[in-house]
Structure 1
Amino acid sequence: MSVSDRWIIDLEEGWEFIRKGITKLELILEGYPEPQFNSQEYIMLYTAIYDMCTQKPPHDYSEELCERYADSFIDYIGTTVLPSLKEQHHEFMLKEFVRRWSNHKVMARWLSRFFYYLDRYFVIRKSLPPLNEIGLICFRDSVYDQLKENLRDAVIVLIDQERDGQQIDRALLKNVLDIFVEIGLGSMDYYENDFEETMLKDTAAYYSRKASYWLMTDSFPVYMLKTEECLQREKSRVFHYLHFSSEPKLLKKVQHVLIFSHAKELLEKESSGCHVLLRDGKVDDLSRMYRLFSRIPHGIDPVSQMFKQHVTSEGTTLVKQAEDATSSKMADKKDVVVLQEQVFVKKIIDLHDKYVAYVNDCFQNHTLFHKALKEAFEVFCNKAIAGSSIAELLATFCDGVLKKGSCEKLNDEAIEETLEKVVKLLTYISDKDLFAEFYRKKLARRLLFDKNASIDHERSILSKLKQQYGGQFTSKMEGMVTDLTLARENQMNFEEYLKENPQSNPGIGLTVTVLTTGFWPSYKSFDLNLPTEMVKCVEAFKKFFQTKTKRRKLTFIYSLGTCNVNGKFDQKTIELIVTTYQASVLLLFNTSDRLSYSEILTMLNLTEDDAVRLLHSLSCGKYKILVKEPSTKAVGPNNTFEFNSKFSDKMRRIRVPLPPVDEKKKVIEDVDKDRRYAIDASIVRIMKSRKILGHQQLVMECVEQLGRMFKPDVKVIKRRIEDLITRDYLERDEENQNMYRYLA
């Protein structure tokens, strides 16, 4: 029959013709030897449906055809698809399900072509789903909903088998899980609710069992290796068959079960936990630990705390060892003690290098670990060692690096690197002003006695300190270096002056270093009665200096001077390198054979302390230039002294040392005085800007302002406030004694 031969096509007659085409499609899908649709058959089916939909009412069968379209899917599913699936189980069921879904999509695609006219007009007019989608919905409602739990369980069984090392058909799993996605027709709800949710629960249960076993049998590093491998395999599963949206959820679940749930137990694992890894320098394991623990919420918090505890413990141990080593040395072995302190600072630098490398490499430069490192070093870098602060030791260490003839020979690059490390260490010291004062004292000695190895290195560390702590921190020290440059130029001018004015030449070689008082440490200045030879030198320089300026006043600091004196002994003449004070004592014996203690004291206008030190160095020290009577160890008013003409030494030039003076007390006193001024200035600055402020707030702001250079004592701040009140800078509020007012 040809449908085009009739004007009106009856519903049942027309459907009978369409049904034959559907049956042929079903036979093709089932694999029967049925020939494929040719173009004529396709056109005839399409035309029949078109005619039945375009006939005038009541012969417009669009609605009826739409219903029978859906019914044809349901019939096929009920008679063929479901029975074939229910015969299969496990992996075979999955394969059959994939085949049936593939066939169903082909069927839906062909039928939607036959019924294309319905799709274009009737479906759109009635706001119905597209015909292809209706076909897929039929499969979902009739097949998927009945089998989804069996399908899900079969997939999860295969996944667990793969986790246990078995080979599985990954392509099959991908095809099945793609159906879970496709069946949602653009929504992920079916994949997530019908598969993913249960899969994640199963994953948690699987790895929970593994974790319990690994915790009993494996060390922390091995456990982490296995965890990392598991995470990598789970990522591989996502790549090969799970939907990509599952990756963050799956990894999060595995991390939670393997790491988060056992974090404390793992980190504190005996003989292999975090402290052991830090102690043994297991860099790879530490890096792995950071990678794993950084993935879980607050995972690196306990790691950073353990890192801080470990570094603090190691640093405190170094301090204790240095304390014990220093205390065990005899007081007269000062050089040995200094060497011990130098070794200690080197160890602290090495410790810092080691753990900075850990922070940068193992912990990926994370701010939490930088903070932990800073807090740890602040703990032990502010302890004292045998009465010496680490601020002082750092200054001494720098002195050892920068002065000539240091025991450790370093090239320029190594010196720069070492100085850079010292500046970094200084950030952990709370009393930076104490370091600055000790450093300034030692810098002064290096510059004045020409003991600095390189002026470039001196400028380099000052530049580093200035960059780190500001210009005020280094201004005096920079002034000292500049003074030395100007002093050399000044000395050249003085020598030119003596050549041009021979009548002013004292006949003795003289070098004078002119310094700016404000830059240099304060030195005691006494009215020493100089010998005649030296007076001529002083007068010559004063005349020269007056030609340069009349506004600047010269004050000679004889305690810093050195003299080269020729000692004419019986055996040979020896050049003696001595201080100006020692030279003054020795020159007295050019005119006197024997002098008493009191005579020397009076003739040179010395204090008793200075007299004892000088005479002890010349008569009781290593080189006995003078003979003392009576021959006792102590120097006192009962002694008389003679020039020791029989003195001899294998060297032709010797330095006669003075007993060392402990300048630490003076430095600390100077720093305390400077701190009082700084606290006063800070209080006034704060009150000037705030006008009225409470006591606690004023103290807090003052501590915050000054904390960069030193940690001010709250009691001292309170005393300075009281002092400023008495000096009418501030006043207490009449109604509230804890409030202060600024007085302009």
Structure 2
Amino acid sequence: MAIQLEEGWSKIQKNGIAKIQKIIDNEMHGKISNQEFADLYTIVYTMCIQKEPFCHTSELYERFSQSVRDYLETTALPAILSDNKHGEYLLLALKKQWEDYRLLKRWLINFFVYLNRFYVKRTHKRSLEDVCLNNFRVLVFDKIKRFAADAMLVTIENDRDGELVDRSLLRNIIQIFVEMGMGKLTIYSQDFEQRFLSETLEYYSRKAAIWLASDTCPEYLRKAERAIQSEISLLTDSLHPSSKDRLMKVLIKYLLLQHQTEILGKPNTGFLRMLQTDAREDLARIYSLYKEIPQSLIPIGKMLKDHIIEVGQKIVHQTDEKDNPLKFVEEMMQLHTKYFSLVHDLFENSPIFDKALKEASETILNQKLAIKRTPAELIATYCNSLLSKDGIRTETEAILEETLDKIVRIFSYLCDKDLFLEFYRKLLAKRLLMARSANEDAEKSMIGKLKIRCGAQFTSKLEGMINDMKSASEHRNMFTQFLAETHADELSIDLDVQVLTTTYWPTYKESEIQLDQSMIHARDLFQKYYDKRTSNRRLKWIHVLGMVTLSADFPNKRVFLEVSTIQACVLLLLNTCESMSILNLHKVLKVPLEELKRQLKPLVNKRFKILNKTPPGGYDVSHLISINMQCNPSRKRIRIPLVASVSNHDRAKNIAEVQENRKHAIEASIVRVMKSRRTLEHAQLIAEVSAQLMPHFKPDPRAIKSRVEDLIGREYLERHPGQPNAYNYLA
């Protein structure tokens, strides 16, 4: 039997809609049983599937919408607007009516779900959910949204001022604004967010002006940080997540960016003062606040760079030859370590601050010092002091490794890396040949660190020197075997020869010296052994690098003297006579006079007093030298150090060698570039060659031009016939 429209609707109204409204009015007491729900659903279903003229689908759809409108106009809206509610009371009323309406909506949609499944899809009408939301928006929300937004903004300002507010209430009302957009955030954005951001702008503009006038830089930043954290907390608890980026832009702009110069430049409390006092917490706060806008870090990075340069300039100006110049390296390591830690730990390795530290360090370490030495030489000398037995001592190997890391970091900023390498190589040679290296592992570690920074070619000679020292034991064993096989006379002395590869080691003069017969005999035997073992290599004997341990019997005790080869020859010669003049020593030993005097001074010095000189003053060639038989050393083994030779000459020689090597490096680079390009303009050639050579040294464009002219003269290049500023590759 067909159900008539009025009959069916009457049952729906009485047993469904009215009962739900009653449950709502009774504070949710009561319920609709499963049987009641099934009956109502069946009525709707039957009225929808009946054949015409008893199919009432469209009428049910319209009456559903009308019943919703009736509820909103007669119940929900009056309840919100009654008693002229405003502020929090208005928000509470809106929240309650929305929750009641949602309950009504859910039950009604369940009753009429058949409409959604078939009628709505077939006719492309709004879904029942959308009908309910649209009616609430038009009949209720549009009428009170402005007042609700006003109330929320007042509540938010109260929250900012420290009053206790109900953030969950805000969250519920915000959710209504979001749902009114029916899947879009347009209504939330237009009716609330824009006003919220505008109010935020005005509020924090006022606060910023007050804080700027009364607070120090750290105090201002702490307040700004708390404000930002509070706003994020408010947004998390109450607002829609989509507002975060726009809210942060407003906060950062009006709290930080707009007043950045005044905040960080505050006298006695600003950014520079924080750097001076190492206020790490405040410095970390600056980065944390400004990092959201990378462009804002650029002026801060410049301030950091200028400050580091200023501190570094003081170190440069205070470097004095009389006052330990190696303090320059120690202070530069301390300076770089301090700001490297700041950039790494506080500024999260930001490229802007990393660049500032790099440029500042390069500026300091590549300027001319007040003394004759260059930073490259001082760093190499400091390494020598650190790695020598009688140099700087570190408590543990870990501390030594850490110090080497610091040295390599400041080394990396040098433009003249090749000059450092030349000084380092010669000092390494002295350490190895004089057995003054404190730690072989540390030597290898340092070379490894340089290799990582500059490549294998940069350290190839250093590694070759280390390998030559390793081969010494191999030669020692094979020489002993050679003596046994050839039945040669037993040596009267112990001989340990270091065979050095010429290309790896610094250039040394092949000095002629009249050796003691025992030394000559041992040398000749080793020469025979080496000639037999190798056919295409020739030994050059560098006696000035040799060390000899002599057993000396003085009246009071026997001591062992560690001396140079020349000093040993002097002592052995004087051992055969009572005394001899400096001139006669020179003639017999064939050692240059200046070198002979340099070798004699530590032996005559009152610290050791191995030899007597008559008269005691000066070093005239006529002065007599004799063994001091009254010598009574306090130790059984004595190492006699040499007086340093004139370092200015060595320094100039090193620099000259580096300049000569640079010419070859520039020429090789020019040929590589031109070989690949065939034709290239002058400016582009200068740029590409400079880029290739920068890892080792900074080439002077004039030097590159000079090498180009030389290569043209040697017919490796020619000027381009049609372009006077371009070159062609010929070879």
> What is the TM-score when the length of structure 1 is the normalising length?
0.85
Q: Which amino acid aligns with 1:435?
A: F
- 1:438 to 2:423 alignment: yes
Q: Which amino acid aligns with 2:240?
A: H
User: 5 Å matches for 1:285-684?
Assistant: 285-321=282-318, 323=319, 326-329=320-323, 337=324, 340-341=325-326, 343-385=327-369, 386-495=371-480, 497-498=482-483, 504-505=489-490, 507-530=492-515, 532=517, 534-564=519-549, 577-585=562-570, 589=574, 599-607=584-592, 609-611=594-596, 613-614=598-599, 633=618, 635=619, 639-643=622-626, 648-651=631-634, 655-661=639-645, 662=647, 663-684=650-671
- 1:167 to 2:164 alignment: yes
Equivalence for 1:711: 698
Residues 91 and 151 in structure 2, CA contact (< 8 A), matched pair in contact too: yes
Q: Which amino acid aligns with 1:452?
A: S
Give CA-to-partner distance per residue, 1:600-648, whole Å, 9 cap, x none. 5444444454355456666688667666677653x456x3434365764
Q: Which amino acid aligns with 1:688?
A: K
Identity in percent: 37
The change in CA–CA distance for 1:228 and 1:617 in structure 2 (over 3 A counts) is closer
The change in CA–CA distance for 1:602 and 1:210 in structure 2 (over 3 A counts) is same
Give CA-to-partner distance per residue, 1:5-54, whole Å, 9 cap, x none. x9977x8x998998878995697378389998887799689859976996
1:457, distance to aligned residue in structure 2 (A): 2.2
Q: Distance in 1 between matches of 2:44 and 2:559?
A: 134
1:486, distance to aligned residue in structure 2 (A): 1.9
Residues 598 and 643 in structure 2, CA contact (< 8 A), matched pair in contact too: yes
Q: Distance in 2 between matches of 1:594 and 1:19?
A: 138
Residues 491 and 513 in structure 1, CA contact (< 8 A), matched pair in contact too: no
Equivalence for 1:697: 684
Equivalence for 1:737: 724
Residues 619 and 628 in structure 1, CA contact (< 8 A), matched pair in contact too: yes
The change in CA–CA distance for 1:121 and 1:613 in structure 2 (over 3 A counts) is closer
Equivalence for 1:332: none
1:407, distance to aligned residue in structure 2 (A): 3.9
Question: Which secondary structure state, in structure 2, belongs to the residue aligned with residue 452 of structure 1?
Answer: coil
The change in CA–CA distance for 1:434 and 1:64 in structure 2 (over 3 A counts) is same
The change in CA–CA distance for 1:56 and 1:580 in structure 2 (over 3 A counts) is closer
Equivalence for 2:707: 720
Give CA-to-partner distance per residue, 1:482-510, whole Å, 9 cap, x none. 22222233234445555666764563444
Residues 578 and 655 in structure 1, CA contact (< 8 A), matched pair in contact too: yes
Q: Distance in 2 between matches of 1:226 and 1:257?
A: 13
Equivalence for 2:141: 144
Give CA-to-partner distance per residue, 1:643-673, whole Å, 9 cap, x none. 3657645457655554312122222122122
1:575, distance to aligned residue in structure 2 (A): 5.9
- Match among 90, 94, 106 for residue 91 of structure 2: 94
Give CA-to-partner distance per residue, 1:310-354, whole Å, 9 cap, x none. 333333332333x1xx2444xxxxxxx3xx41x432332233332
The change in CA–CA distance for 1:152 and 1:647 in structure 2 (over 3 A counts) is same
Q: Which amino acid aligns with 2:272?
A: H
Question: Which secondary structure state, in structure 1, belongs to the residue aligned with residue 259 of structure 2?
Answer: helix
Equivalence for 1:334: none
Q: Distance in 1 between matches of 2:624 and 2:36?
A: 141
- 1:276 to 2:263 alignment: no
User: 5 Å matches for 1:74-153?
Assistant: 74=69, 77-86=72-81, 87=83, 88-109=85-106, 124=121, 126-153=123-150
Residues 308 and 375 in structure 1, CA contact (< 8 A), matched pair in contact too: yes
Residues 53 and 118 in structure 1, CA contact (< 8 A), matched pair in contact too: no
Q: Distance in 1 between matches of 2:141 and 2:600?
A: 110
1:95, distance to aligned residue in structure 2 (A): 2.1
Residues 506 and 540 in structure 1, CA contact (< 8 A), matched pair in contact too: no
Q: Distance in 2 between matches of 1:297 and 1:451?
A: 51
Q: Distance in 1 between matches of 2:484 and 2:112?
A: 122
The change in CA–CA distance for 1:92 and 1:721 in structure 2 (over 3 A counts) is same
Unaligned runs of 5+ in 2: none
373-382 or 239-248: which moved more?
239-248
Q: Which amino acid aligns with 2:293?
A: I
Equivalence for 2:236: 239
Q: Distance in 1 between matches of 2:720 and 2:40?
A: 106
Q: Which amino acid aligns with 1:450?
A: A
1:152, distance to aligned residue in structure 2 (A): 0.7
Question: Which secondary structure state, in structure 1, belongs to the residue aligned with residue 295 of structure 2?
Answer: coil
Q: Which amino acid aligns with 1:307?
A: L
Q: Which amino acid aligns with 2:654?
A: V
The change in CA–CA distance for 1:193 and 1:596 in structure 2 (over 3 A counts) is same
> What is the TM-score when the length of structure 2 is the normalising length?
0.87
- Match among 151, 155, 170 for residue 154 of structure 1: 151
Question: Which secondary structure state, in structure 2, belongs to the residue aligned with residue 693 of structure 1?
Answer: strand
Q: Distance in 2 between matches of 1:514 and 1:30?
A: 104
1:146, distance to aligned residue in structure 2 (A): 2.0
The change in CA–CA distance for 1:580 and 1:213 in structure 2 (over 3 A counts) is same
The change in CA–CA distance for 1:570 and 1:45 in structure 2 (over 3 A counts) is closer
Question: Which secondary structure state, in structure 1, belongs to the residue aligned with residue 125 of structure 2?
Answer: coil
Give CA-to-partner distance per residue, 1:116-138, whole Å, 9 cap, x none. 67666665554332345334323
**Matched length:** 722
Q: Distance in 1 between matches of 2:416 and 2:660?
A: 14
The change in CA–CA distance for 1:514 and 1:149 in structure 2 (over 3 A counts) is same
602-611 or 592-601: which moved more?
592-601
The change in CA–CA distance for 1:626 and 1:122 in structure 2 (over 3 A counts) is closer
Residues 720 and 728 in structure 2, CA contact (< 8 A), matched pair in contact too: yes
Q: Which amino acid aligns with 1:133?
A: D
The change in CA–CA distance for 1:211 and 1:566 in structure 2 (over 3 A counts) is same
Equivalence for 1:333: none
- Match among 208, 212, 235 for residue 211 of structure 1: 208
Residues 571 and 646 in structure 1, CA contact (< 8 A), matched pair in contact too: no
Question: Which secondary structure state, in structure 2, belongs to the residue aligned with residue 288 of structure 1?
Answer: helix
The change in CA–CA distance for 1:477 and 1:64 in structure 2 (over 3 A counts) is closer
Residues 626 and 641 in structure 1, CA contact (< 8 A), matched pair in contact too: no
Q: Distance in 2 between matches of 1:151 and 1:206?
A: 20
The change in CA–CA distance for 1:522 and 1:74 in structure 2 (over 3 A counts) is same
402-411 or 65-74: which moved more?
65-74
Equivalence for 2:22: 28
Residues 686 and 704 in structure 2, CA contact (< 8 A), matched pair in contact too: yes
- 1:177 to 2:174 alignment: yes
Residues 108 and 136 in structure 1, CA contact (< 8 A), matched pair in contact too: no
1:704, distance to aligned residue in structure 2 (A): 0.9
Residues 152 and 195 in structure 1, CA contact (< 8 A), matched pair in contact too: yes
1:76, distance to aligned residue in structure 2 (A): 5.2
Give CA-to-partner distance per residue, 1:99-128, whole Å, 9 cap, x none. 333344444455556766766666555433
